[in-house]
Amino acid sequence: MIRLIFWIAIVFAALWLWRKIKPSAPQQAPKGGDQTLLMVRCAHCGVHLPQDRALNRDQQWYCSPAHLQQGPAARDR
């Protein structure tokens, strides 16, 4: 009889341990903005490109130095 209780205790301990380890499977990735690539729109030609490759001037984004010099497109207004 004691052996049966012993095995039941073992099973419960195993279940408890398994349940304790299990929640780590769906690891919650930190929702940081670092990995999401922010896309910006060239104010001159309207092409979309990653923000780290875009050029910024006067709160406008440009795809290339040429468009940076030409400024935002006049048709946009």
Q: Following DSSP, what letter does each residue of 15-75 receive, concatenated?
A: HHHHHHHGGGSS------TTTSPPEEEBTTT--EEEGGGSEEETTEEESSHHHHHH-S-GG
Binding mask 44-63 vs Zn ion (x if CB under 5 A, - otherwise)?
xx-----------------x
Question: Hunting for tokens 């419960």 — which residue is that?
Answer: 12
Residue 40 binds Zn ion, judged by CB under 5 A: no
Q: Does 43 bind Zn ion (CB under 5 A)?
A: no
Which lies closer to Zn ion via its Cβ, residue 37 or residue 66? Answer: 66
Candidates 42, 54, 61, 68; binder of Zn ion (CB under 5 A) is: 42
